């Protein structure tokens, strides 16, 4: 999906900017899921630990990990646990990079989750957060012509559970726990559903499979290039359905 690719590129950009070239980093991925981002980092030579609370997902990932080359398997640990469990598993300052993607909107106690993630970051460490953008909930239904849903989103009163799904509140809290916001991006300004248009699809009916695949890849890359620009520019990034924020441990 294009949104996953955008998050990966944004993360790689911040790592390249923040750390010296060639440094092997200690990475924690909270809520591992399918492990796409974590595996990408392990393939890049970093030492990665993943936490996953769902036994089925953890088993599926562990099985998939067995198909990776031995060197990558040696650099990866997958453990049962959640963002609430970092204090039980790890000492303070254990990691250089912590990924918390799609976690805060489901966390029972986001305050303690974030504080725990800050605790396990080493000085100068990078915290990568991906959250739904609660401030832009009316955009997608409005663009789709679903006026009832758009109005409901516009007039809804903010809920306490939404507090960390709004950039201003999250920025303030990160400063209080010693991981002030360094920069932020939107994610999927135009391709919120992971699509990138249908360029090449009609032609693909008459072309060879190779030509259709090439057209599809070209459309995907064109979409990613536009998204990369929009996701770092105002006002576009502010209305993206998700936000990618980076804090740095002081």
Domain edges within the chain: 2-189+234-248, 195-230
Q: What is the pLDDT of residue 207?
A: 63
DSSP H or E stretch at residue 183:
strand 181-187
CB 105 within 8 A of CB 79: no
Most distant pair of Cα atoms in the chain: their distance = 59
The tokens describing 227, both together, are: 């998204």
Which secondary structure element, helix H or strand E, spans residue 215, and what is its range?
helix 209-230
Bridge partners of 47? 26
List phi, psi (to 5°) of 73: -60, -35
When the candidates are 3.40.50.970, 3.40.50.150, 3.10.50.40, 3.40.50.1970, the CATH number that belongs to 2-189+234-248 is 3.40.50.150
DSSP 166: S
So what's the pLDDT on residue 192? 55
Distance of alpha carbon 219 from alpha carbon 243, whole angstroms: 24
The string of pLDDT tens digits covering residues 62-113 is 999 999 999 999 999 999 999 888 988 999 999 999 999 999 998 989 999 9
- For 97, which DSSP code? E
CB atoms within 10 A of CB 150: 18
Q: Which of 50, 66, 46, 49 is nearest to 58 (CA)?
A: 50
Q: Which residues of the chain have pLDDT under 70?
A: 192-207
């Amino acid at each position: 999906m294009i949104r996953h690719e955008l998050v990966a590129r944004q993360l790689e950009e911040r790592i390249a900017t923040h750390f010296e070239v060639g440094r092997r980093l200690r990475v924690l991925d909270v809520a591992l899921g399918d492990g796409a981002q974590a595996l990408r980092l392990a393939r890049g030579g970093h030492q990665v630990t993943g936490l996953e609370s769902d036994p089925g997902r953890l088993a599926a990932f562990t099985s998939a990990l067995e198909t990776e080359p031995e060197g990558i398997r040696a650099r990866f640990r997958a453990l049962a646990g959640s963002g609430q469990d970092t204090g039980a598993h790890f000492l303070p300052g254990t990691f250089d990079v912590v990924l918390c993607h799609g976690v805060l909107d489901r966390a029972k106690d986001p305050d303690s989750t974030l504080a725990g993630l800050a605790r396990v970051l080493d000085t100068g460490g990078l915290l990568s957060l991906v959250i739904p953008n609660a401030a832009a909930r009316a955009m997608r239904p409005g663009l789709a012509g679903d006026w009832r849903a758009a109005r409901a989103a516009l007039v809804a009163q903010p809920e306490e559970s939404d507090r960390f799904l709004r950039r201003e509140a999250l920025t303030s809290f990160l400063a209080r726990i010693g991981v002030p916001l360094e920069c932020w991006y939107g994610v999927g300004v135009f391709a919120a559903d992971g699509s990138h248009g249908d360029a090449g699809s009609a032609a693909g009916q008459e072309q060879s499979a190779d030509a259709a695949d090439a057209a599809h890849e070209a459309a995907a890359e064109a979409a990613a290039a536009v998204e990369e620009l929009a996701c770092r520019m105002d006002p576009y990034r502010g209305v993206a359905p998700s936000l990618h924020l980076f804090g740095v441990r002081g």
